[in-house]
Chains A and B, each alone.
Chain A
Amino acid sequence: MTLFKIDEVRKTFRNGEVEEEILKGINLSLNEGEITALVGASGSGKSTLLTIAAGLQPATDGHVIFEGKNMSTMNAEDVRKVRASEFGFVFQFAHLVPFLTVEEQLLLMLDVSESRLKKQEQKNEVNRLLKLVGMDHRKMAYPSSLSGGEKQRVAIARAIIHKPKVLFADEPTASLDSQRSKEVMLLIRDLTKTLNITTLMVTHDEEMLAYTDRIIKMSDGVILQDAM
């Protein structure tokens, strides 16, 4: 079932007098629970496409339809609400809040998404998810005392604690070594499959493609190949 539709999306950047078209009319549908990888050389437009789909920047032209609602015509506050409650984000760097413990990072996300869970239920949910990502023993630790892999596990837990419908991951393993990258990808795959979360991921690392359901290859602002 299609959850997300990208319809004739174009993005143009003006660099002084020169106008550069980064996305040249992209059409794409994401199915529920599917893990889709966007691959391509630097400058192919994959990260721009991901950020437009995630509502982090507007398209110059075209539509982003999420659950039948056109995000391209929503105001900034409505887009923020969708991001807070329906989307989850994992970035190249964990970007954890330095003054919050691991447990508080997740509680913050529940707060941001305006979770209806009661305080104790929220704590139980945090504990459950930290156990799933293997970080329950570090729940009182601050980010400064975590390793890169541990930080990324916490970032993944933060991205899905509020049960988003879509997970956007921008190079989630780029700052990790090979072993940690595999662990993180396995974690993303297991969790999104368990929770039926649709995932759109940008990656450079071909080894990570083994964990995805679909690979979309981009070049020069267009989709070259869409393979299952």
Chain B
Amino acid sequence: MNLAWKEIKKNKVRFLILGSIVFLVSFLTFIISGLANGLSQDNAALIKDLPQGQFYMNTDADETYNLSKIDSSTQNEILSNEKDAVAFSLQMGFLNDQDNKQQSVAFVTSSDSKLFENVQHEEVIVDSSLKDKGIKVGDTLTNNQFSGKFVVKGFVEQKKYSHAPVAYINNEDYKEIYRTDEMQLIFVPNDDSSKQFAGLQSFSNKEFLKTIPSYSAEQMSLNMIVWFLVVISGMLFAIFFYMMNVQKIGLYGILKAIGVKTSKLFKMIWTQMAIITVISLILSVAFSQAFNLIAPKGMPFTLTIGTTTQLSIVFLIIGFIGATISGIQIKKIQPLQAIQQGEA
């Protein structure tokens, strides 16, 4: 007999309250997780979109990529020996649009590669977010440190760095703006960390992201909120079921007296937890995915099904732990106590 479902049906309001709380907490968790992912994309989509591999920067740069300068002989050696390797540089800067309004961008230049946009002298390819600022293909943009003019050749989708749109420019133009001949970084896709090059320090994609100023701090704060919410939901389960169990001690005692197995009572709590959590999570996922579609354009919000699935599984595990902890008292209930008490 499905005692769990029968109790839910009879005490709809009680379980509706618990379900609403789980829904609200999980929905908030999904939204914050979406914001964390969105900000992460906004901060480092350029790097995150690269395949797994190894980044190399100058050992003397002290893990700060914009202090890194890779000498041309090392660069040429690696690029000729490693398949698909690319040397690139990136620096924050700005472009003046046709109305002379400054637009912050992250300038990126690279050696010939399929991983980065290759542009000709006095050409620029920019992130599509600049379309919202009125920039179109064919527009002429300027930079105070650059003697020529950039013609917008096209747009790329979702290429951001340090919350600024990326602007791919030619290597020669980059050298003129930043007065440097050397590239900052080399990326070797599908590489493993065992390869070492003299004078260069290697980083996996994850390690390299950590070297980006503000990235770790930003992600850590948001992830902390997400995990706090997950823990809070677990505690809510434990507290709610504990309160319900306290009210039902007499009933559990009688059920044990007439021969109901303790494991059946645990199964009842777990089933109730699973029913409530699954229904709440389905609603949360649906609402958060709907929010994903209607979120304002300027809001950095990215919520993938993978992330929601992962968080949903965590919620189920936490709910299970919370419900089980609250159920420990059931194990301790003596049938005799319940009989000696009054009506439940």
The chain A residues found within 8 Å of chain B, CB to CB, are 51, 56-57, 80-81, 83-85, 87, 89, 91, 93-95, 97-100, 104, 107-109, 111-113, 142, 158, 170, 175
Nearest A-chain residue to B9, judged by Cβ: A99
Chain B residue contacts of A83, Cβ below 8 A: 257-259
How far is B6's CA from A107's CA once the two chains are assembled, in angstroms? 13
> Which of A80, A99, A100 is most buried by chain B, counting CB atoms within 10 A of its CB?
A99
Would you call B318 an interface residue if the criterion is a C-beta within 8 Å of the partner chain's C-beta atoms? Answer: no
How far is B11's CA from A142's CA once the two chains are assembled, in angstroms? 12
Chain B residue contacts of A97, Cβ below 8 A: 3, 251, 255
Question: What 10 pairs across the A-B complex have the smallest Cβ distances?
Answer: A84-B259, A99-B10, A93-B343, A95-B254, A99-B7, A83-B259, A111-B1, A112-B259, A56-B336, A56-B335
Chain B residue contacts of A84, Cβ below 8 A: 258-260
Min CB distance A143 to B, Å, is: 9
How far is B280's CA from A203's CA once the two chains are assembled, in angstroms? 50
Given contacts A80-B259, A104-B6, whether A98 and B251 have CB atoms under 8 Å apart is yes
Would you call B298 an interface residue if the criterion is a C-beta within 8 Å of the partner chain's C-beta atoms? Answer: no
Q: Is the interface of A mostly helix, strand, loop or mixed?
A: mixed
How far is B338's CA from A57's CA once the two chains are assembled, in angstroms? 13
Contact: B336 with A51, CB < 8 Å? yes
Contact: A80 with B6, CB < 8 Å? no
Given contacts A80-B261, A112-B258, whether A142 and B10 have CB atoms under 8 Å apart is yes
How far is B340's CA from A95's CA once the two chains are assembled, in angstroms? 11
Contact: A91 with B335, CB < 8 Å? no
Chain B residue contacts of A89, Cβ below 8 A: 257-258
Chain B residue contacts of A158, Cβ below 8 A: 258
How far is B343's CA from A201's CA once the two chains are assembled, in angstroms? 19
Given contacts A83-B259, A112-B258, whether A95 and B250 have CB atoms under 8 Å apart is yes
Would you call B344 an interface residue if the criterion is a C-beta within 8 Å of the partner chain's C-beta atoms? Answer: yes
Contact: A56 with B1, CB < 8 Å? no
Can you name 19 A-B pairs with beta carbons within 8 Å? Answer: A51-B336, A56-B257, A80-B261, A83-B257, A83-B259, A84-B259, A89-B257, A91-B254, A93-B342, A93-B343, A95-B250, A95-B338, A95-B343, A99-B6, A99-B7, A99-B11, A112-B259, A158-B258, A170-B339
Min CB distance B272 to A, Å, is: 11
How far is B261's CA from A94's CA once the two chains are assembled, in angstroms? 20
Min CB distance A183 to B, Å, is: 19
Nearest B-chain residue to A86, judged by Cβ: B259
Q: Which of these, A57, A87, A108, contacts B1 with CB under 8 Å?
A: A108
The chain B residues found within 8 Å of chain A, CB to CB, are 1, 3, 6-7, 9-11, 250-251, 254-261, 334-336, 338-339, 342-344
Q: Which of these, A85, A108, A142, contacts B3 with CB under 8 Å?
A: A108
Contact: A112 with B260, CB < 8 Å? yes
Chain A residue contacts of B251, Cβ below 8 A: 95, 97-98
How far is B6's CA from A94's CA once the two chains are assembled, in angstroms? 20
Chain B residue contacts of A98, Cβ below 8 A: 10, 251, 344
> Which of A112, A142, A158 is most buried by chain B, counting CB atoms within 10 A of its CB?
A112
Given contacts A56-B257, A109-B258, A112-B260, whether A94 and B343 have CB atoms under 8 Å apart is yes
Given A95-B251, A99-B10, 10 more A-B residue pairs with CB atoms under 8 Å apart are A56-B335, A80-B256, A93-B343, A94-B343, A95-B339, A97-B251, A99-B7, A108-B1, A108-B3, A111-B1
Q: Which of these, A57, A85, A91, A142, contacts B259 with CB under 8 Å?
A: A85
Chain B residue contacts of A81, Cβ below 8 A: 259
Chain B residue contacts of A95, Cβ below 8 A: 250-251, 254, 338-339, 343-344
Chain B residue contacts of A111, Cβ below 8 A: 1
How far is B11's CA from A104's CA once the two chains are assembled, in angstroms? 16
Min CB distance A202 to B, Å, is: 11
Chain A residue contacts of B7, Cβ below 8 A: 99
How far is B344's CA from A158's CA once the two chains are assembled, in angstroms? 17
How far is B1's CA from A99's CA once the two chains are assembled, in angstroms? 12
Min CB distance A101 to B, Å, is: 9
Min CB distance B245 to A, Å, is: 14
Min CB distance A16 to B, Å, is: 20
Chain B residue contacts of A113, Cβ below 8 A: 259
Contact: B339 with A51, CB < 8 Å? yes
Chain A residue contacts of B11, Cβ below 8 A: 99
How far is B11's CA from A126's CA once the two chains are assembled, in angstroms? 25
> Which of B251, B254, B257 is most buried by chain A, counting CB atoms within 10 A of its CB?
B257
How far is B1's CA from A87's CA once the two chains are assembled, in angstroms? 20
Min CB distance B251 to A, Å, is: 6
Contact: A104 with B10, CB < 8 Å? no
Given contacts A98-B251, A99-B6, A112-B259, whether A107 and B344 have CB atoms under 8 Å apart is no
